[in-house]
C-alpha cells in the first residue's frame, strides 16, 4: 500500500500494475525479476543487463536469432511483454550509458559532450561533483582525462556537498581546459578473445605515479583499448625504480585481467625497465630476483601467463605521460588504489637488530597496543595473548629466526610445518 497503491475516493484503492517512475525499490525489483527470468541466459553470456536496458547478441546472425528466440520464450513464459518502439533488433549502432557503440568500438555521444561543454561553472560542491561524475562516465573515450580533472578533484576533496564551491583563477582555467578537452574524443576498440593483447606500462619516480595502456592487434592492425593511472601510496615513493616499475606491471595486469582471462592469446607486457625484464627471465628459469618486491609483483604476470619484454622509453609516450600526470583518486573502494596501497605489505624483507636500533627500520609489532591496533584492521584477528609483542631478529648471517609466543608455537608448527631453524622463546 505504501509503495504500490494509492487511496482514491473513486472505487477504493488503485494499485500500480507496473513499476512507476521514481517508485522506491523499483530498480531492485527489476533486477530480481530479470535474474529470475533470464538467469540462465545471463550465466551463458548471451544476455547482459546494463542499468535498465537489456542487451543480447552473438557471433553470427544465426546465433543472434537463436538468442532472440530464447529471450522471447523466457519472457512469454513469465507473462512479460516488450514495448515495440523500445525494441531494436540487430542495430548497427546504439548508445550505452552515454557511449556510442558501433561495430565493436566505443566513442562519446555528441549530446553528452555538448551538455558538458556548454554547462555553466558549478556553484556548489555537489554540482562540481556531479560535473566530474558525468565527465568520468565518458573518460574511457578521452586520452589523458585524469590529469585534466586533477585540479578540480583536489578542490572538492574533503568538502561537504552543501558547501559553496570556492573559485580561483587556477580553478577557472582548469574548468575551461576540461571543457576544451572534450573536443579530443577518441574511439576505443573493445577487445575480442581472438585479439592479441599488449600492455605498455611505465612508472614515474619524480611524479610518484604509475600508468599503463592496453592495445590489441587485430588483422595486423594495432588498436587502443584502454588505459589507467594511479598514485603511489605510503612509502612506495622511496622504493627503487625497478620496484615501482614492477608494481606498475602487477597493477596493470590485474586491472586488465578480465580481458586477459577471455583472450585466446597470452598477453605481452612491454616495459622500459630492463631490471624487470631480467627478473622475469630469472623467474622463468626458476630463480628469484634480489628484490622481494620485484618477485612478488612479477608473480602476478605468471598467474595470467603473460610475457614481459623490453620497450625503449622513447617510444613509450602514452604510458610515460600518464604516469607523470596521474590524478589523485579519493574513491574509498577503488580496486586499483587498494591494490597499490596494500602492496606495501606483500613482501617480507630482511630486518636486523642494528637497523632497528639505528632507526633505519621499524618493526610493526614492537608493543602490545601496536599489535592490537594492527589486528583490528583485519576481518579475522588472531586471539593469542601476546606478552611483549612479536619480534623478528637476525641471529646468524645465513638465516633468519622468528621469535614468537610459546602459547602459539603448536599452531605455527601445524600450519607452516617449520621443523628446522625455528627457535621458540616463551
Are the CB atoms for 327 and 149 separated by under 8 Å? yes
Least reliable range by pLDDT among 41-45, 117-121, 155-159, 205-209 = 205-209
Are the CB atoms for 252 and 276 separated by under 8 Å? no
Are the CB atoms for 156 and 133 separated by under 8 Å? no
d(CA 271, CA 275): 10
d(CA 369, CA 146): 40
Least reliable range by pLDDT among 161-165, 316-320, 352-356, 385-389 = 385-389
3-class state of residue 260 by DSSP:
helix
> Cell numbers 573559485 label which residue?
167
Residue 308, phi then psi, degrees to nearest 5: -105, 125
Question: Is it the case that residue 352 has pLDDT exceeding 70?
Answer: no
Q: What percent of the chain has pLDDT over 90?
A: 7
Provide the pairing of β-strand 268-271 with 196-204: parallel
Dump pLDDT digits (tens) for 227-247. Answer: 777 777 778 888 888 888 888
- End-to-end, the C-alpha distance of the chain in Å comes to 67
Question: Is it the case that residue 80 has pLDDT exceeding 90?
Answer: no
Provide the pairing of β-strand 188-189 with 105-108: antiparallel
pTM for the whole structure: 0.60
Dump pLDDT digits (tens) for 1-34. Answer: 456 667 777 777 777 766 666 777 777 778 888 8
Which residues, at least 6 apart from 224, have a Cβ–Cβ distance to it below 8 Å?
186, 188, 189, 213, 214, 215
**In the structure grid, which three cell numbers stand for residue 304, read together?**
595470467
pLDDT at 389: 44
The arrangement of strands across the sheet holding 99-102 comes to: 93-96, 99-102, 105-108, 188-189
d(CA 171, CA 160): 18
d(CA 200, CA 313): 11
Which residues, at least 6 apart from 150, have a Cβ–Cβ distance to it below 8 Å?
325, 326, 327, 328
pLDDT at 362: 59
Q: Nearest-5° angle of CA 362, CA 363, CA 368?
A: 130
Q: Which residues of 331-345 are buried (b: 16+ CB within 10 A; e: fewer)?
A: eeeeebbebbbebee
Q: What percent of the chain has pLDDT over 70?
A: 69
Question: Is it the case that residue 423 has pLDDT exceeding 50?
Answer: no
Q: What is the mean pLDDT of residues 78-104?
A: 83
d(CA 257, CA 255): 5
- Total Cβ atoms within 10 A of residue 384: 14
Q: Nearest-5° angle of CA 219, CA 221, CA 225?
A: 105
Helix (H) or strand (E) holding 159: none
Long-range contacts at 75-78 (CB < 8 A, ≥ 24 apart):
75/37, 78/36, 78/37
| Backbone angle region of 326, left / alpha / beta, with phi > 0 → left and psi within -120 to 50 → alpha | beta
Amino acid at each position: 500500500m505504501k509503495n504500490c497503491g494509492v487511496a482514491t475516493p473513486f472505487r477504493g484503492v488503485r494499485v500500480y500494475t507496473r513499476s512507476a517512475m521514481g517508485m522506491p525499490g523499483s530498480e531492485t525489483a527489476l533486477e530480481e525479476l530479470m535474474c529470475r527470468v533470464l538467469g540462465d541466459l545471463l550465466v551463458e553470456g548471451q544476455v547482459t543487463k546494463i542499468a535498465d536496458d537489456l542487451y543480447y547478441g552473438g557471433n553470427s546472425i544465426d546465433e543472434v536469432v537463436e538468442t532472440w528466440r530464447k529471450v522471447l520464450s523466457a519472457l512469454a513464459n513469465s507473462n512479460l511483454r516488450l514495448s515495440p518502439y523500445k525494441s531494436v533488433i540487430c542495430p548497427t549502432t546504439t548508445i550505452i550509458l552515454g557511449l556510442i557503440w558501433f561495430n565493436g568500438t566505443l566513442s562519446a555521444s555528441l549530446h553528452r559532450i555538448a551538455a558538458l561543454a556548454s554547462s555553466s561553472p558549478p556553484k556548489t560542491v555537489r554540482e562540481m561533483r556531479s560535473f566530474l561524475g558525468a565527465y568520468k562516465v565518458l573518460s574511457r573515450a578521452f586520452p589523458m582525462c585524469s590529469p585534466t580533472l586533477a585540479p578540480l578533484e583536489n578542490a572538492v576533496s574533503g568538502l561537504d556537498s552543501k558547501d559553496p564551491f570556492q573559485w580561483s583563477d587556477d580553478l577557472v582555467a582548469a574548468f575551461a581546459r576540461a571543457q576544451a578537452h572534450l573536443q579530443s574524443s577518441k574511439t576505443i576498440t573493445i577487445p575480442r578473445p581472438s585479439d592479441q593483447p599488449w600492455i605498455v606500462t611505465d612508472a614515474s619516480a619524480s611524479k610518484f605515479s604509475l600508468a599503463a595502456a592496453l592495445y590489441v592487434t587485430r588483422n595486423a592492425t594495432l588498436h587502443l583499448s584502454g588505459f589507467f593511472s594511479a598514485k603511489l601510496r605510503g612509502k612506495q615513493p622511496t622504493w627503487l625504480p625497478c620496484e615501482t616499475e614492477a608494481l606498475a606491471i602487477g597493477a596493470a595486469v590485474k586491472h586488465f585481467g578480465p580481458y586477459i582471462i577471455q583472450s585466446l592469446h597470452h598477453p605481452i607486457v612491454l616495459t622500459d625497465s630492463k631490471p624487470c625484464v631480467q627478473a622475469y627471465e630469472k623467474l622463468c628459469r626458476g630463480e628469484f630476483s634480489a628484490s622481494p618486491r620485484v618477485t612478488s609483483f612479477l608473480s602476478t604476470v605468471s598467474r595470467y601467463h603473460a610475457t614481459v619484454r623490453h620497450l625503449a622509453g622513447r617510444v613509450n609516450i602514452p604510458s610515460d605521460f600518464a604516469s607523470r600526470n596521474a590524478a589523485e583518486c579519493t574513491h574509498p573502494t577503488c580496486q586499483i588504489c587498494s591494490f597499490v596501497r596494500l602492496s606495501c605489505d606483500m613482501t617480507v624483507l630482511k630486518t636486523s637488530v642494528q637497523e632497528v636500533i639505528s632507526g633505519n627500520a621499524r618493526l610493526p609489532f614492537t608493543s602490545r597496543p601496536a599489535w592490537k591496533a594492527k589486528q583490528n584492521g583485519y576481518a579475522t584477528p588472531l586471539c593469542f595473548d601476546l606478552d611483549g609483542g612479536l619480534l623478528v631478529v637476525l641471529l646468524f648471517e645465513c638465516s633468519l629466526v622468528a621469535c614468537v609466543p610459546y602459547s602459539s608455537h603448536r599452531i605455527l608448527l601445524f600450519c607452516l610445518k617449520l621443523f628446522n631453524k625455528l627457535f621458540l622463546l616463551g
